[in-house]
Amino acid sequence: MNTEPAFQPQTGMNAQGRYQAAYLAVGENPISANIRQAIAAVRRHLWMALAIVGAVVVLALISTLLDTPRYTADTSVQINDQSDEVLGSQFEGANATGPSDWDIDRFLNTQLDVLQSRGLAERVADRLELGTSERFFSAMEVPTSALAGDQAQDRSLAVDLLRSNLEIDLPRATRVATISFTSTDAALSANIANAFAEEFIQANLQRRFDSTSYARDFVAEQLEEARVDLEDSERELNDYAKSAGLIRTYDALTTDGRDRLTGTVTASSLVQLNDAAIAARADRIAAQSRWEAIQGTPLLASQPVLNNPTVQALMTRRAELQSELQTARDRYLDNHPAINWLEADSAAINRQLETTARQVRESIRAEYRAAQSAESQLDSQVDRARGNSLAEQDQ
């Protein structure tokens, strides 16, 4: 049976007209109807919708501006799972085995728990005196009326605030933990974050120090036994030296040259004083030789005097004046002023030269006397040190 189509496009219609005609012939489905109704509602109430959106934006902006700013300070701390060697690698390294991954994870989690523990928060609160700090409670937005006035209760409240505003983050594949603290005071947040890191380090050091108490006691006992044995050996050595009439000025157990001078302080002092006395005697002999060499010679004939720079300069100046004086005498009469000036200058140079030469000789004599005095003092000190060494060996 032949049926006619429900819609037959009319000739002469454009594309938009044909589409609308086809849409009306098929009919409107529920989804498109709902969309059309929603668009129509928005068009009818467009200004109201825009007003609501604007009001929400303004309220959000006002709320943001009125809200108190909060600052978060971050600091980092490295967590190591390697313990220090107390007795050295020869004793501890032989039986030590590397930790497993599970042990490392457990250790890191333990350290994170320590960072978030109440004990560490109490250390920070006590260090910064937060229990009595009005600045801290103000930064944590705690009103003054909420404080109990009791020191213990305020301290407990400060510890709770520290723990509630503290965040610890330890990313995987790293040993560096980030400590964050948030408050309304930027400087206070930084101080508290740094205090957590420092107290964590101090707590770890104290814990490691306490864990090595057994090793310290063991080493102390061994040192005490070695000290007693050493005292017995020294006592026997002193008895032998006393019976043989010897002065022990070195450590008999050492065979390395001058390093053997490591006995008692008195013995070391005796050796040092004896060396100084020998050096002083050599200096005195040298000074005496210099003095005797110039003592019987004319003033300007000794080598030390002639080697003096001042004497050499004066002698050069005297030669120049004598040359100028001879030239002036050849040119002028004896009473000419130029000749008188040159003669006066020459006489002054001669006096200055003689004075300087005497000073050089006296300085050599003073060096000789100082060397004599130093030798005498050191000899007396050596005698006293020798007596002290003999008395010390009798103890």
> Which residue in this structure is represented by tokens 């709902």?
34
Are the C-beta atoms of 248 and 267 separated by less than 8 Å? yes
Q: Which amino acid is at 311?
A: V
Per-residue confidence (pLDDT) for residue 234, from 0 to 100: 78
Task: Give whichever of 149-153, 181-185, 359-363, 391-395 has the largest mean pLDDT.
Answer: 181-185
Residue 243 confidence (pLDDT): 67
User: Which among 100, 116, 101 is positioned nearest to 177, based on CA atoms?
Assistant: 116
Under the banding of pLDDT at 50, 70 and 90, the label for residue 124 is very high
Percentage above 90 pLDDT, the chain: 11
Q: How far apart are CA 111 and CA 201, in angstroms?
A: 11
- pTM confidence score: 0.42
- The pLDDT mean for the chain works out to 77
* SS3 per-residue string spanning 137-206: HHHCCCCHHHCCCCHHHHHHHHHHHHHHCEEEECCCCCCEEEEEEEECCHHHHHHHHHHHHHHHHHHHHH
- Looking at residue 94, its pLDDT comes to 46
Segment 170-204, tens digit of pLDDT: 888 888 999 999 998 899 999 999 999 999 999 88
DSSP state of 69: P
User: Looking at residue 6, what is its pLDDT?
Assistant: 46
Predicted pLDDT of residue 262: 47
Which helix (H) or strand (E) segment holds residue 339: the answer is helix 337-393
Provide CATH code, domain 71-85+98-211: 3.30.1890
In tens, the pLDDT along 133-152 reads 888 888 888 887 777 778 88
Residue 73 structure tokens: 């300070």
Residue 245, phi-psi category: left (phi > 0), alpha (psi -120 to 50), beta (remainder): left
| Triad 228, 229, 234: Cα angle to 5° | 100
Q: Is residue 90 pLDDT above 60, yes or no? A: no
The Cα-based distances of 162 to 136, 169, 183, 200 in angstroms read 10, 16, 10, 14
- Determine the Cα–Cα distance for residues 101 and 173; give it in Å rounded to an integer: 11
